[in-house]
Amino acid sequence: MRSSVAAGLIIFCAAGPAAAQPFSAASTGTFTFDAPTYEHYGAFRSGEAQSGQASVTIWLPSMPSPTARDGRVAAVMIGHSIGGWKDGSEGVYVKPLLKAGYAVLGLDHFGPRGIKRAADVPGAISPITPVSDALLALKLAATHPAIDPARIGIMGLSMGGITSEHSAYEFVRRKVLGNSDLKFAAHVPFYAPCANVFSNDGGPVTTGAPMLKLYGGKDETTPREKCERIDAIARAGEPGLRWQSHWYADAYHAWENPAVRPAFHPHHVNARQCPVTDFGSRLRFIDPDGRERPFSIAELQSCLKASRGYSMGYSPEAAADAPKRMLAFFATHLKP
């Protein structure tokens, strides 16, 4: 992913037989692994996948690390937006995390799949595919001798925020990892579009891991009422839910990059006018008044078309404060 990182490449099939130990304690670089590609959320629910690959780039912190315990450090995975990994966006979080003593795991869902453009290309990638990628990358990273598998957190921007948020749902985690106990220890999604929940009849709604959601008040992908309704739906099924949110009133989508001037992008995919969609064990729509209705692909496609577009732009307050909140949250929940 990054030319400044020592080169390394393996092919790891997460769905196949147990792989031989791929890492030494000093292994860094970019590691490619087999990862299914899902055309849409329905395909994920039914297990209908196409073959694909993703990669994770591993950076290790300088030692001794303040996060070290029994010779292993905590780690934070970074999920990228639908624009792909960019040094001015996802890349700005690598150095602060390394400085704080974390290993950093940078995902790439596009390069190994040959995706060049996705933000304004409907169907280029379904957001559930990166979620699956992240959980498979977690399985891979957990085998690294320098990383504590019980202390791996995940953050992400926009689509990467969806990756961070949706990987906290137990229905999703079990679909990807089966009976494994492996899970992310903490989640910090940045401006994750508010759209979906995942019910889990007969089991917990989430993995139980804490989550800090960071939102912008001028971001059309995160209408506050809908975002809070999603949390309420999850909390109704799990009263002890450890999720919290912080809002930056004047922040747009993609707030950390000074090169991004505030502007409305009319062709970008958005779901703000759609009902909350449950893609878990109970496929359904949930209206603002709480009424449940059968899922309709035609209605979903129609409301997605009507919702297109959202504003992006640098927001100094959020750009300065969000990394501090993220680091403080991980310091609390990934501590030795």
Is the backbone of residue 279 left (phi > 0), alpha (psi -120 to 50) or beta? alpha
Predicted TM-score (pTM) of the model is: 0.93
Q: Which of 115, 180, 189 minimizes the C-alpha distance to 159?
A: 189
Cα 70 to Cα 67: distance, rounded to the nearest angstrom: 10
pLDDT score of 227:
98
pLDDT score of 244:
98
Question: In this structure, are residues 13 and 26 in contact, taking their beta carbons and an 8 Å threshold?
Answer: no
pLDDT score of 21:
52
For the structural domain made of 11-333, what CATH number should be given? Answer: 3.40.50.1820
Cα 159 to Cα 276: distance, rounded to the nearest angstrom: 17
Enter the tokens of residue 183.
């899970």
pLDDT in tens, the chain (336 residues): 543 333 233 333 333 333 445 799 999 999 999 999 999 999 999 999 999 999 999 999 999 999 999 999 999 999 999 999 999 899 999 999 999 999 999 999 999 999 987 767 767 899 999 999 999 999 999 999 999 999 999 999 999 999 999 999 999 999 999 999 999 999 999 999 999 999 999 899 999 999 999 999 999 999 999 999 999 999 999 999 999 999 999 999 999 989 899 999 998 989 999 999 999 999 999 999 999 999 999 999 999 999 999 999 999 999 999 999 999 999 999 999
Cα 251 to Cα 221: distance, rounded to the nearest angstrom: 12
